[in-house]
Structure 1
């Protein structure tokens, strides 16, 4: 693979000898930045939202640059179509979309397009990119597959480790999305701390404004939401720890129900059995495939948002809840304190009674609710797009200087 990659690099670079120089003089007016677009072009949640938000914020705040999004395929969806309609965001599809394209063949396209920086948005960068003129950045979201290997198949865990460790060793710069992730990269991969920069995530702008009462009423009626409910958002998997909320619900005011929004996995059966055992069938509501445009309204209608995950790289749902003005309870033990700030509540992810206590405390105290909403909204401003995006562009420029 190495011989093949070097040959492709030489061919691509030789084809550029007669074109304009790749010197720093071009940087004074324009950057050409390439991105791994696998998630941005195909995922409607999680890393897809992260990728689109990051690139879109750059395109809006620094329109003088060109943003090239490389992907072998594109999902047909309104969010994705809207993303690629931006004038300075360009979709780049391969001429030959072989299964090696993202890992190797993309190098030829990057050199041909005069890309100055390539940003791998999720744990990997192309092999041998360090042998080209293209500088590289990789975002590391978490190393959960090493912290909690039991949640992953052996072959998947080894593949993730191989790709991410290689990317960290070869990239010019690593972006960690939290101090906790940075610490994990140093611990597991032995990376020099000076190579890692913590740049927090933000969430989609749609969560940053209040919906009108008429819109909230429509959303409530459409999804048959109860008048009083606790909210949880995220994939229904063991690590996210939904079972703890169900167990705590038994000790919470009976007027309140639990609304869960997330994709079901095999763990759902465990949760379902717990609901039946505790006689809570009428108090737990599962919603799936909620249109992204309506999700902020559900956050805004919730009385409390609960996210007791055992481990996260950052915890975007916590940010979404705080922007929505919803009091938030999260778990200790990972990075959720970084996301939720000093005025959210944190409990041990195995403490059923502790979680129930704090849910009840918030529900019965208007003053506590008001304080958590106000201070939570103040804290979350540190994740606003202009600040995060400026840090990112500074990172790119420092690599090129």
Structure 2
């Protein structure tokens, strides 16, 4: 079987879609080495390269037109290259498929991560919403099969876009295996020292946008008052929402209790938190992850926390109970009182924390790399059966 991938995010994105692409593709190549895998990359990359020793190869546009217009190659011109390479299945890893794929003779699969822009359009530009909608509708209409990364996304595809249920498979995503590996105490201490962090803290990982609800954590911290002793460490960046967060912190005097790692640009590259091994060490050093997002397609930080063996506070909405299972403490993300109570409880109740860790570790096994890759491989095999 020869499988081709839309590898734009694999090579050029260092956050969610990139992590999904690299984890899945590298996992498939390692676990199913009898197949051939080609990464179709629209332009040269500096950040990521193809791992050695696996049946993976990279393909880029060859003629001057497509080299000059890599987006055009990715959206249209790539189809001829797929046929020339004798690709059996082409997998669009991030919502998109090229025009003409349906009549090419190449089977196609598309992964849709979420339809959040349909629920929260004001958090996107009008043109961005239009393009997301156009690309995803096209991909779902022309793909031979659609992969949704959660039951929530599968339901949204069916209910909002009318994609037939039998055309959709839920294939959960995994996270980088490094999160499950135990870091030494020295490694964790070095990360904390590099960023000037205390030895005990709560952790937030995510973009600083309205939907992810960092402000809800801060409101809970303020309401908890002196009963809460743990500071909050924030991994993530943002602009407009960060101003709103800063204004609230200034008004409530919370500044000394919140650490924004994005404000530490001078940290040596060895300890850069964008490196997965450093981020996973930070997770393992935390008392708990706090992730009260109003809506997610999956909520990968929750899974990263479970693999890291730390408890989670998260929202009881969208797919987050799918991701957290019995390893999380659930709250109404709009309730400041529930947030405050959960923060104090996770801080004070060591027995509960350990119970959540144990249950979370068991739940995380449902999202092992082996299971996630097997579910995707089953989709491929059924298409070629």
Q: Which residue of 1 aligns with 2:60?
A: 93
The CA distance in 1 between the partners of 2:285 and 2:340, in whole Å, is 20
Is 1:247 matched with 2:219? Answer: yes
1:285 to 212, 237, 259: 259
Q: Which residue of 1 aligns with 2:265?
A: none
Q: Which residue of 2 aligns with 1:345?
A: 329
Matched position secondary structure for 1:345:
strand
The CA distance in 2 between the partners of 1:332 and 1:136, in whole Å, is 34
Q: Which residue of 2 aligns with 1:55?
A: 25
Higher radius of gyration, 1 or 2: 1
1:220 to 192, 200, 215: 192
Tell me whether 94-103 or 346-355 shows the greater mean CA deviation: 94-103
Equivalence map 1:156-175=2 (5 Å): 156-175=128-147
Count the aligned residue pairs: 368
Pairwise CA distance, 1:294: 0.5
Q: Which residue of 2 aligns with 1:308?
A: 292
Q: Which runs of 4+ in 1 moved over 2 A?
A: 83-87, 252-255
Matched position secondary structure for 2:11:
coil
Evaluate the alpha carbon distance shift between residue 287 and residue 74 of structure 1 in structure 2; reply closer, same or farther with a 3 A threshold.
farther
Equivalence map 1:66-85=2 (5 Å): 66-77=36-47, 80-81=48-49, 83-85=50-52
1:220-257, CA deviations, whole angstroms, 9 ceiling, x for partnerless residues? Answer: 21222112211000111111110001111121544210
Is 1:133 matched with 2:133? Answer: no
Pairwise CA distance, 1:265: 2.8
Pairwise CA distance, 1:292: 2.3
Q: Given that residues 108 and 144 in structure 2 are in contact (C-alpha distance below 8 angstroms), is that contact kept between their aligned partners in structure 1?
A: yes
Pairwise CA distance, 1:86: 4.5
Q: Given that residues 42 and 74 in structure 1 are in contact (C-alpha distance below 8 angstroms), is that contact kept between their aligned partners in structure 2?
A: no
Q: Which residue of 2 aligns with 1:8?
A: none
Is 1:36 matched with 2:6? Answer: yes
The CA distance in 2 between the partners of 1:380 and 1:343, in whole Å, is 9
Pairwise CA distance, 1:362: 1.6
Matched position secondary structure for 1:228:
coil
The CA distance in 2 between the partners of 1:231 and 1:246, in whole Å, is 12
The CA distance in 1 between the partners of 2:186 and 2:282, in whole Å, is 13
Alpha carbon RMSD of aligned pairs, Å? Answer: 1.2
Pairwise CA distance, 1:119: 0.2
The CA distance in 2 between the partners of 1:254 and 1:53, in whole Å, is 37
2:202 to 230, 237, 256: 230
Structure 1 stretches of 5 or more lacking a match?
1-30
The CA distance in 2 between the partners of 1:145 and 1:76, in whole Å, is 30
Q: Given that residues 208 and 236 in structure 2 are in contact (C-alpha distance below 8 angstroms), is that contact kept between their aligned partners in structure 1?
A: yes
Q: Which residue of 2 aligns with 1:185?
A: 157
2:249 to 275, 278, 290: 275
Equivalence map 1:355-370=2 (5 Å): 355-370=339-354
Q: Which residue of 1 aligns with 2:358?
A: 374
The CA distance in 1 between the partners of 2:129 and 2:95, in whole Å, is 13
Pairwise CA distance, 1:360: 0.9
The CA distance in 1 between the partners of 2:248 and 2:337, in whole Å, is 16
The CA distance in 1 between the partners of 2:239 and 2:358, in whole Å, is 35
The CA distance in 2 between the partners of 1:343 and 1:303, in whole Å, is 14
Matched position secondary structure for 1:341:
helix
1:119-170, CA deviations, whole angstroms, 9 ceiling, x for partnerless residues? Answer: 0001110111010110000001000011111111111101100110111011
Matched position secondary structure for 1:306:
strand
The CA distance in 2 between the partners of 1:205 and 1:107, in whole Å, is 33
Matched position secondary structure for 2:207:
coil
Q: Which residue of 2 aligns with 1:24?
A: none
Matched position secondary structure for 1:119:
strand
Q: Given that residues 261 and 286 in structure 1 are in contact (C-alpha distance below 8 angstroms), is that contact kept between their aligned partners in structure 2?
A: yes
